[in-house]
Amino acid sequence: MKRVLITGGSGFLGSHLCDYFVKRDYHVICMDNLSTGDIRNIEHLLPMRNFEFHHHDVTKFVHVPGKLDYILHFASPASPIDYLKMPIQTMKVGSLGTHNLLGLALAKGARILVASTSEVYGDPLVHPQNEEYWGNVNPVGPRGVYDEAKRFMEAITMAYHTFHKVETRIVRIFNTYGPRMRLNDGRALPAFMSQALKGKDITVFGDGSQTRSFCYVSDLVEGIYRLLMSDYPMPVNVGNPIEITIKEFAEEIVQLTNSRSKITYLDLPADDPKVRQPDISKANDILGWQPLVNRSEGLKITLDYFKSLPEFKS
């Protein structure tokens, strides 16, 4: 049985990865310090024989007994509100945490995939963003702690690849949504759905003309698995290239929920990227990957998830 360590395994993306690998008969070691993760995301996996949970902060030395075939490093606060609340931890998990896991990969002879982000492109001056673009990041702005930690993560991962010959993979994840997103993490989708369900005003930041491209979580997980199994060490964008303005996105959610909520416009946060859309030609060419779930389908599943939460059950 192949053994895989998933850090941040009880978070939104991490828990879906745990599901994917458990289903495919891997032995999954899920590691999380639960700072933004939630044990409820993996509760159903706890009784499984091929699943174990380690409550641990990966910025401290990481010890995993036995062999390891793969490591997926997904531990990090990942929404603007979270990394504003935890700026130092965000920097530490991207830097010290990544260093510990690369060291573990070297010691175990494991292949490691690290979760990078479209935030490495900052407020991009190239559109859509391809992997050759180096980005436009403000290191000292509110998003700097996340963006720069992830850029450091990519740099040290390449260093372990070239210097220590560790098998490394780097995925640049664009906006992703689906069940198990945190309701109060400040992201657009949970904020809009929760406001629409409660009949409250929908808070669009700025004039809502900024764009994002939203990928359903099962598509993302499939792309990540294919990248892990490939032999490609350079960064690969994984995301859904269908772009939408945040205003249109808010309107779509109001319609989907049959809500009477009105849109209200608030100040745009500092350094909020004006556009974002992945160029996925690389993922398509190298991994034969493309997203399959369309937004209306994905949003419906996500809405059903939010409605099932205790907060919305009447």
Binding window for ligand UDP (CB under 6 A); candidates: 2-10, 54-62, 198-206, 277-285: 198-206
In angstroms, the CA 9 to CA 17 distance is 7
Q: Map residues 11-50 to x or -, x wherever contact with ligand UDP holds by CB under 6 A.
A: ----------------------------------------
Q: Which of 36, 95, 157, 175 binds ligand UDP (CB under 6 A)?
A: 175
Question: For the chain, how are helix, strand and coil distributed in percent, rounded to 5?
Answer: 40, 20, 40
Q: Does 135 bind ligand UDP (CB under 6 A)?
A: no
Q: Which of 187, 226, 282, 295 binds ligand UDP (CB under 6 A)?
A: 187
CB 284 within 8 A of CB 290: yes
In angstroms, the CA 248 to CA 210 distance is 10
Q: Does 79 bind ligand UDP (CB under 6 A)?
A: yes
Nearer CB in complex with ligand UDP: 158/268: 268
Q: Does 204 bind ligand UDP (CB under 6 A)?
A: yes
Q: Which of 28, 58, 191, 303 binds ligand UDP (CB under 6 A)?
A: 191
Is 56 exposed, middle or buried (CB count within 10 Å of its CB: 0-12, 13-18, 19+)? middle
Cα–chain center distance at 100: 20
Q: Does 269 bind ligand UDP (CB under 6 A)?
A: yes
Nearer CB in complex with ligand UDP: 3/187: 187
Instruction: Specify the 3-state DSSP secondary structure of 275.
Output: coil
Strand residues in the chain grouped as ranges (E): 3-7, 27-32, 51-55, 70-73, 111-117, 168-173, 176-177, 202-205, 211-213, 215-216, 236-238, 243-245, 263-266
26 a catalytic residue: no
Q: Which of 9, 37, 77, 80 binds ligand UDP (CB under 6 A)?
A: 80
The site that binds ligand UDP (CB under 6 A) totals a number of residues, namely 15
Per DSSP, what are the bridge partners of residue 237? 172
In angstroms, the CA 190 to CA 55 distance is 26
Q: Which two tokens stand for residue 158?
A: 């390449």
* Selected catalytic residue, list 146, 160, 177, 225: 146
Q: Does 240 bind ligand UDP (CB under 6 A)?
A: no
Q: Which two tokens stand for residue 128?
A: 């859509």
Nearer CB in complex with ligand UDP: 57/119: 119
Could you list the active site residues? 146
In the complex, the residues that contact ligand UDP under the rule CB under 6 A are 79-80, 175, 186-188, 191, 203-205, 210, 212, 246, 269, 272
